[in-house]
């Protein structure tokens, strides 16, 4: 009965890890719809105003026939542009629907399996592992490797290549000391409105950095610097009072004279570009409801936590004098993944496994080194090790103690 329960597939637990798989296409569909709506509203308003002005001028006789035809041609050209944009939005929507359908089908396959021993589950798990690896590669900027792996495994609809490639491209531009692309992303469609709802400071910090670069460049005219500050920084004086005051102070402190003033020296530091890149990445994840760490790390942490016990990071190191013959404890230590060299350090900060039941040996005796074993097992091991009567040996470290130094312990 226990083996059946252990091998039973918990579908809900699997879906906890795969939430972003279904959520991201929906977020992208919402974003695509909002962008299309924004374009229709913007160009629709222009068309109605232009048509109203042209009709009024034609009725009043203030607009010539040539001007009327010119205005109509302009409106037709504008609407053709809208049609091209809406076609692109429709193509993107169809692609996202195909991706969502493929992902639902992929997860639906899981519900046709009821045990981890099912032969189909191994193939499904391999596909999920490929997805997690592609996600990891994309988050760390290995776009070409991620795309090659996705194409080789045939899982392009199950991963978000275009989304992460755009993010990595903008992040790379920021690290190359350019905020133009990031600002274009912030102001595209209704992204600006969504960022405002999130109380994100990304756009302001990008504008602030652009202002810092203007001040750094001594060839920039003071009038241009002031105009930029009035347009992009002063409107935020109540929200970001400290930064706006620093921007004002920078006008009186040239870049070469701030080495002794930490507050202003930090503004000219190269580390700000890394900070901006990280801020953009975290904002991008938050906007699309993505976890801030790779899904591979989440899956690995869950697996490590399910196997971790206090003995895996005990303060008592294993000794080379450990017993050579097979015992249940030494066997458990030798095959425990968490005790392995590769995973021990990775598992150090994850929580311990949850156990609803505990199994304790009867007649527990505590050795002077703090370890506790059952009396029967200590005596059996001492007999097999050929120790004199009245002495026992630690099963893990190989230390030898006399029986009178042992203490009987009880579970309370």
> Is the per-residue pLDDT at 124 higher than 80?
yes
Q: Give the model's pLDDT for residue 320.
A: 35
> Is the per-residue pLDDT at 62 higher than 90?
no
Q: Comparing 73-77, 89-93, 299-303, which segment has the lowest mean pLDDT?
A: 299-303
Max avg pLDDT among 1-15, 245-259, 273-287, 321-335: 273-287
Q: Give the model's pLDDT for residue 166.
A: 94
Q: Is 203 exposed, middle or buried (0-12, 13-18, 19+ CB in 10 A)?
A: buried
Dist CA 210 CA 232 (whole Å): 10
> Is the per-residue pLDDT at 318 higher than 60?
no
Report the percent of the chain where pLDDT is more than 90.
Answer: 40
Q: Give the model's pLDDT for residue 14.
A: 77
Where residue 94 falls among pLDDT bands split at 50, 70, 90?
Answer: very high
Average pLDDT over residues 53-73: 84
Dist CA 245 CA 251 (whole Å): 10
Do 304 and 346 meet the contact criterion of CB atoms below 8 Å apart? yes
Q: How far is CA 56 from the centre of its chain?
A: 55
Do 384 and 330 meet the contact criterion of CB atoms below 8 Å apart? no
Do 328 and 359 meet the contact criterion of CB atoms below 8 Å apart? no
> Is the per-residue pLDDT at 12 higher than 70?
yes
- Tokens 């312990």 correspond to 409
Do 392 and 381 meet the contact criterion of CB atoms below 8 Å apart? yes
Q: Give the model's pLDDT for residue 8.
A: 80
Provide the b/e sequence for 301-328 (b: ≥16 CB within 10 Å): beebeebbeeebeeeeeeeeebbeeebe
> Is the per-residue pLDDT at 3 higher than 70?
no
DSSP output for 157-210: GGS-HHHHHHHHHHHHHHHTT--HHHHHHHHSTTHHHHHHHTT--HHHHHHHHH
Q: Give the model's pLDDT for residue 242.
A: 92
Q: Is 65 exposed, middle or buried (0-12, 13-18, 19+ CB in 10 A)?
A: exposed
Express each pLDDT in 170-216 by its tens digit: 999 999 999 999 999 998 877 888 899 999 999 999 999 999 999 98
What are the residues whose beta carbons fall under 8 Å from the beta carbon of 14, sequence distance 6 or more? 110
Report which of 27, 29, 96 is spatially closest to residue 289, judged by C-alpha positions: 27
Helices 19-60 and 65-110 sit at what angle, rounded to 10 degrees?
A: 170
Residue 407: beta bridge partners?
Answer: 366
Report which of 294, 215, 309, 308 is spatially closest to residue 253, judged by C-alpha positions: 215
Do 25 and 99 meet the contact criterion of CB atoms below 8 Å apart? yes
């Amino acid at each position: 009965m226990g083996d059946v329960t252990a091998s039973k597939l918990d579908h809900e637990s699997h879906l906890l890890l795969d939430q972003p798989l279904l959520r991201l296409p929906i977020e992208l569909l919402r974003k695509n719809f909002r962008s299309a709506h924004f374009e229709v509203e913007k160009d629709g308003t222009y068309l109605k105003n232009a048509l109203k002005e042209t009709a009024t001028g034609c009725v009043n006789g203030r607009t010539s026939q040539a001007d009327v035809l010119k205005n109509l041609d302009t409106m037709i050209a504008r609407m053709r542009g809208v049609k091209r944009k809406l076609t692109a939005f429709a193509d993107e929507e169809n692609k996202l629907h195909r991706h969502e359908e493929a992902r639902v089908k992929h997860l639906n396959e899981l519900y046709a399996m009821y045990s981890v021993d099912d032969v189909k589950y191994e193939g499904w798990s391999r596909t999920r592992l490929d997805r997690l690896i592609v996600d990891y590669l994309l988050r760390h900027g290995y776009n070409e490797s991620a795309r090659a792996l996705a194409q080789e495994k045939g899982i392009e609809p199950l991963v978000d290549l275009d989304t992460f490639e755009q993010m990595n491209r903008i992040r790379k531009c920021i690290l190359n000391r350019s905020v133009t692309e990031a600002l274009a992303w912030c102001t595209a469609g209704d992204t600006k409105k969504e960022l405002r709802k999130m109380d994100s400071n990304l756009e302001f910090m990008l504008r602030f950095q652009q202002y810092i670069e203007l001040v750094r460049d001594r060839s920039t005219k003071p009038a241009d610097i002031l105009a930029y500050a009035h347009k992009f920084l002063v409107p935020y004086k109540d929200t970001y009072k400290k930064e706006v005051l620093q921007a004002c102070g920078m006008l009186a402190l040239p870049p070469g004279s701030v080495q002794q003033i930490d507050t202003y020296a930090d503004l000219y530091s190269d580390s700000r570009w890394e900070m901006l890149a990280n801020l953009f990445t975290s904002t991008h994840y938050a906007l699309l409801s993505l976890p801030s760490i790779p899904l591979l790390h989440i899956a690995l942490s869950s697996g490590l936590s399910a196997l971790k016990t206090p003995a895996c990071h005990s303060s008592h190191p294993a000794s080379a004098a450990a017993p050579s013959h097979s015992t249940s404890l030494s066997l458990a230590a030798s095959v425990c993944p968490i005790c392995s060299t590769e995973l021990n350090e990775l598992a150090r900060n994850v929580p311990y496994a949850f156990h609803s039941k505990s199994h304790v040996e009867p007649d527990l005796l505590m050795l002077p080194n703090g370890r506790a074993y059952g009396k029967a097992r200590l005596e059996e091991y001492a007999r097999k090790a050929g120790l004199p009567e009245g002495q026992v040996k630690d099963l893990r470290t190989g230390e030898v103690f006399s029986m009178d130094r042992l203490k009987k312990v009880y579970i309370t």
